[in-house]
Structure 1
Amino acid sequence: MIRILLAEDDEAMRTYLARALDRAGHSVVAVSSGTDALTMLKTEIYDLLLSDIVMPGMDGIELAQRCADLSPSTKVMFITGFAAVTLRAAREAPHAKMLSKPFHLKDLVAEVERQFEDVAAACV
């Protein structure tokens, strides 16, 4: 089971994504802002930070940079619907995986699980 911290400001999208990941067998904590996610990162360890890039207040890129300082082992994946933002994210968080909206939930689940294939193979 992958422990996921989901930061998404759109309530409907956050619920939709969290439900899909939960149904796939992952543990999901969903928050509505980068600030709330940062608070969670200070108190819990997550395998994956799954964050929208464009959010009010602290955006996903700043959140990912702070996550790297607080929890270097936490992988980062961005979700976004803005192509220009994708370019900025690639520059400022080069190790993060990017998933562009719209996407199918099965693609999201597959990409999340792909991030941890090396870990699963090492446990066999």
Structure 2
Amino acid sequence: MYRILLAEDDRVMRDYLTRALERSGYAVTAVDRGTAALPLIEAERFDLLLTDIVMPEMDGIELAQRAGEIAPDMRVMFITGFAAVTLKAGKQMPQARVLSKPFHLRDLVLEVDRLFEQGSFTTSG
């Protein structure tokens, strides 16, 4: 089972995404900010970091860059409602996927599924 670390500061969105991904067979650990995600990345293995870009304390791009230093094999997908932020993410983390809000949960799950189907990818569970 693939393990996803979700960093999303909006509680309703965080709960909504967690439920959708868990229903699709993923193990999800959810936190409300990037600074809460880093210690988890250091302590556990995750297959995907799914992070909002605009968050307090540490934005998703900085989180992804720091996570990449700790766990270089972990994949990254950004979610954001800001077009300009999407462009910044694409420049700073070109290997990451960016999903713009609003999106349907089905689209999110399909993107996550596609990400795991690409190439050889080992599961941690």
Q: TM-score range by the shorter chain?
A: over 0.9
Q: Which amino acid aligns with 2:11?
A: E
What does 1:94-105 correspond to in 2, within 5 Å?
A: 94-105=94-105
TM-score, L = length of structure 1: 0.94
Secondary structure of 1:30's match?
strand
Inter-partner Cα distance in structure 2 for 1:10 and 1:116: 25
Correspondences of 1:1-124 after superposition (within 5 Å): 1-117=1-117, 118-119=119-120
CA distance in 2, matches of 1:26, 1:51: 16
Give the Å deviation of 1:94.
Answer: 1.0
- In 1: Cα distance, 2:114 partner to 2:104 partner: 15
- Tell which has more relative contact order, 1 or 2 (C-alpha 8 A, sep 6+): 2
Q: Deviations over 1:19-62 (max 9, x none)?
A: 00000010000000000011110100100000000000100000
- Runs of 4+ deviating beyond 3 Å: none
Give the SS at the match of 2:76.
strand
Percent identity of paired positions between Structure 1 and Structure 2? 62
- Alignment root-mean-square deviation, CA: 0.9
CA distance in 2, matches of 1:49, 1:32: 13
Q: CA deviation at 1:119?
A: 3.3
CA distance in 1 between partners of 2:66 and 2:113 (Å): 23
TM-score, structure 2 normalization:
0.94
Secondary structure of 1:85's counterpart equals helix
SS for the counterpart of 2:65 is helix
